[in-house]
Amino acid sequence: MISIVCVYNDQDILNKYLINSLNNQNSDYELILVDNSCGRFKSASLALNHGGKKATQKYIMFIHQDMDLVYENWLYDAENFLNSLENIGIVGVAGRVENKGWTITNIEDGISRTPVSPNSELNNPMKVQTLDECLIILPKDVFNELNFDEEVCDDWHLYAVDYSLSILKKGFDVYVLPMRAYHRSHGYSLSKGYYLTLKKLLKKHKDYDMILTTMGDWSPNYPLIIQKYYYLFKNKIWTLTRSLFK
């Protein structure tokens, strides 16, 4: 059985997407909801660590409120994948790996339910460098050893990226599962908070030549301001392209 931790700030969205899809599951689960509608928690790391410490099951899923597990055997299939993999540090449903210039995933996102990665379909679990935050799963014993970094990730961004890089340094593996899901948000928000966290993340993981994320590839060896404006331009092109294919 899987413990499911969700930090939410909108009860209607939570019920329409995550809760509705969980109610259709054929597997039992432990649900831990962390209400942040009043801003009790100032960062995702604080809130998720709070919820994760309440989990009692072998695996802990940290999931966004607007995620939809799109079929009734989702949790059953996920647990089977988890039990079949070795040396798991963290797994997710979207991530990045070297030599692939796109996000590795089978999920859809946005109001129009557009495939995040139309380049290829994932058929088997794949090892990657980092994961997207929309849905991640950790073995509980790994989470007990390493919580989310509340100092570096003191906002609502990049905590899965930071965790992926940190867990790789500990000798564990990072996987993307070949599972379909739907994320209502397209997730592409390069806010001020994102860059503030990114700056600290690049300093923490300066031993990497390139840090690959679903929001772009970032180098600790080049000024962030130059990279920032490059990706702002790239984001405009990406947004225009997606709008043309809706």
- Mean pLDDT by runs of 10 across the 246 residues of the chain is 97 98 98 97 98 98 98 98 97 94 92 84 94 98 98 97 98 98 80 90 95 90 78 65 56
Chain-centre distance for alpha carbon 200: 19
- DSSP of 77-134: HHHHHHHH-SSEEEEESEEE-TT--S-EE--EETTTTEES-TT----S-EE-SEE-TT
The pLDDT value given to residue 236: 65
CA–CA separation, 193 vs 21, rounded Å? 30
Q: Which residue has the tokens 């073995």?
A: 139
CA–CA separation, 94 vs 175, rounded Å? 9
The pLDDT value given to residue 186: 72
CA–CA separation, 106 vs 38, rounded Å? 34
| 3-state secondary structure at position 139 | strand
Cα–Cα distances (Å) from 26 to 9, 69, 182, in that order, read: 27, 12, 18
The pLDDT value given to residue 238: 60
Query: How many angstroms separate the most distant Cα atoms in the chain?
Result: 49
The pLDDT value given to residue 222: 79
Cα–Cα distances (Å) from 71 to 3, 144, 152, in that order, read: 18, 30, 35
CA–CA separation, 246 vs 238, rounded Å? 13
**Assigned token pair, 219:** 């180098």
Hey, how many other C-beta atoms are within 10 angstroms of the C-beta on 91? 27
Cβ–Cβ under 8 Å, residues 57 and 30: yes
The pLDDT value given to residue 229: 77
The pLDDT value given to residue 57: 98
Q: Which residue has the tokens 């509980």?
A: 140
CA–CA separation, 94 vs 220, rounded Å? 23
Residues listed for the chain: 246
The pLDDT value given to residue 150: 98
Q: In 8-55, where does DSSP find H-type helix?
A: 11-14, 20-23, 44-52
